Amino acid sequence: MPSLDQKELEQILEVKINNPDLYLSAFTHRSYLNENRGFHLPHNERLEFLGDAVLELAATEYLYKNYNHPEGELTNFRSALVNYKMLSDIARRLDLEKFLFMSRGEAKDTGRARQVILANCIEAVIGAMYLDSDFNTVRQFIERHILVELPKIIAGEKYVDPKSRLQELVQEKRGITPTYSVVSETGPDHNKIFVVAALVGTVEVGRGSGPSKQEAELAAAENALKNNQF
């Protein structure tokens, strides 16, 4: 039966684990259960749902207390902190990937789909930590490993929404608003990849992909800004 190296995980997370099963569930991807029907714990999607809300609250509280910016900017700061690319990078930095339980097929995929799995996993870990300890413990973890990225995000203006920037430039140059069209969607319902084109009129100016239409639109807008062909 699968198990976690509790001592090593406690050292990485800097928390005391009281209920190891919560964390084991947090590292269990849905695909693992497809190949291991007798596994005694659920996959991590419910913990991810909880952790997402806990992370958003902790980030929102921190931003409110420490940054005297307008609501729109605070929202952009928070979005840049909790998007799947940022969270997957943090999960890799913490070496959480080695604890994942996945199907053999998922284990072979090291691209964007793995980024999403890692981002979901760190949210599930936050959910497990919240249930296993308290909000203050989770907040300290989030401050140590996620909110610490905020100064770099602000200094590099990584919080600027590419769709808003593209719309501003296209309206200024062409007097019209860019639109977005889904080119394709592939993969199972729980792990889809969308490809979206950014259009100025009928002309494609950028293309991007992501695990949701919104993420793909952002990637397409970012690609259009790099191409600068509008």
Catalytic residue among 52, 132, 217, 222: 52
Catalytic residue among 8, 95, 97, 123: 123
Active site residue 52: yes
* Cβ–Cβ under 8 Å, residues 51 and 139: no
What SS3 state is found at 18? coil
Alpha-carbon distance of 14 to 7, in angstroms, equals 10
What secondary structure letter does DSSP report for 160? S
Q: Backbone phi, then psi, for 136, in 5-degree steps?
A: -65, -40
Alpha-carbon distance of 222 to 219, in angstroms, equals 5
Closest CA to 224 of 152, 185, 187, 174: 174
Quick one: which H or E segment has residue 209? Answer: strand 203-210
Alpha-carbon distance of 230 to 166, in angstroms, equals 9
* Cβ–Cβ under 8 Å, residues 178 and 218: no
Active site residues: 52, 123
